[in-house]
Chains A and B, each alone.
Chain A
Amino acid sequence: MSIFVDETTTVLVQGLTGGQGRFHGLRNRDYGTKVLAGVTPGKGGTDVEGVPIYDTVAEAVGATGATASFVVVPPRFACDAILEAAKAGITFIVCITEGIPAQDEALAYNRLVREFPATRLLGPNCPGIISPGKTNIGITSGDIALAGGPVGIVSRSGTLTYQALHELSQQGIGQTTCVGIGGDPVPGTNFIDCLEAFEADPETRAVMMIGEIGGSEEERAAEFIGSRMTKPVVAYIAGVTAPPGRKMGHAGAIISGSQGTAQAKMEALETAGAVVAANPTEAGEKMVEIVRNLP
Chain B
Amino acid sequence: MDLFEYQGKQYFARFGIPTSPGGVADTVAQAVEQAELAGYPVVVKAQVKVGGRGKAGGIKLAGDAAKAAQAAEAILGMDIKGHVVRRLWIEHASDIAKEYYASFTLDRPAKLHLGMLSASGGVEIEEVAATNPEAIARLHVNPVDGLDEATARRWVDEAQLDEPARDEAARLLVRLYRCFVEGDCDLAEINPLILTTEGAVHALDAKVTLDENATFRHPEWEELAGGEAEDPREQMAKEKGLNYIGLDGSVGIIANGAGLAMSTLDVVNQVGGSAANFLDIGGGANAAVMSAALEVINSDAKVRSILVNIFGGITRVDDVANGVIEALSRVEIRSPIVLRLDGTNAEAGRALLAPHLSERVLAEPTMLSAARRAVELTR
Closest CB in chain A relative to B77 CB, distance in Å:
24
Pick the interface stretch among A2-10, A51-59, A158-166.
Answer: A158-166
Q: Identify which of residues 190-243 in chain B touch chain A, using a CB-to-CB cut-off of 8 Å.
A: 211, 213-214, 216-217, 243
In the complex, which residues of chain A have a beta carbon less than 8 angstroms from the beta carbon of B260?
A: 157, 159-160, 163, 238
Q: Within 8 Å of chain B (Cβ to Cβ): is A186?
A: yes
Pick the interface stretch among B39-47, B147-155, B165-173, B251-259.
Answer: B251-259
Cβ–Cβ contact A110 & B257, under 8 A = no
Which residue of chain B is the closest to A219 with respect to CB atoms? B109
Closest CB in chain A relative to B181 CB, distance in Å:
6
Cβ–Cβ contact B344 & A143, under 8 A = yes
Cβ–Cβ contact B214 & A216, under 8 A = no
Q: Within 8 Å of chain A (Cβ to Cβ): is B106?
A: yes
- Determine which residue in A102, A213, A249 has the highest number of CB atoms from chain B within 10 A of its CB, and name it: A249
In the complex, which residues of chain A have a beta carbon less than 8 angstroms from the beta carbon of B126?
A: 257
In the complex, which residues of chain B have a beta carbon less than 8 angstroms from the beta carbon of A140?
A: 313
Cβ–Cβ contact B344 & A157, under 8 A = no
Q: Within 8 Å of chain A (Cβ to Cβ): is B367?
A: yes
**Interface residue tally for chain B (C-beta within 8 Å):** 50
Cβ–Cβ contact A141 & B343, under 8 A = yes
In the complex, which residues of chain B have a beta carbon less than 8 angstroms from the beta carbon of A250?
A: 258-259
Q: Identify which of residues 224-276 in chain A touch chain B, using a CB-to-CB cut-off of 8 Å.
A: 238-243, 246, 248-253, 257, 262
Cβ–Cβ contact A280 & B263, under 8 A = yes
Interface residue from A109, A212, A242 paired with B278 (Cβ < 8 Å): A242
Pick the interface stretch among B15-23, B89-97, B264-272, B318-326.
Answer: B264-272
Given contacts A215-B108, A279-B367, contact A100 B213 (CB under 8 A): yes
CA gap between A257 and B162 in the complex, in Å: 30
CA gap between A253 and B260 in the complex, in Å: 13
Cβ–Cβ contact B313 & A159, under 8 A = yes
In the complex, which residues of chain A have a beta carbon less than 8 angstroms from the beta carbon of B245?
A: 243, 246, 248
Closest CB in chain B relative to A53 CB, distance in Å:
23
Cβ–Cβ contact B266 & A186, under 8 A = no
In the complex, which residues of chain A have a beta carbon less than 8 angstroms from the beta carbon of B217?
A: 76, 101
In the complex, which residues of chain A have a beta carbon less than 8 angstroms from the beta carbon of B216?
A: 75-76
Q: Within 8 Å of chain B (Cβ to Cβ): is A220?
A: yes
Interface residue from B111, B263, B269, B314 paired with A186 (Cβ < 8 Å): B111
Closest CB in chain A relative to B126 CB, distance in Å:
6
Cβ–Cβ contact B257 & A160, under 8 A = yes
Cβ–Cβ contact A158 & B257, under 8 A = yes
CA gap between A168 and B265 in the complex, in Å: 22
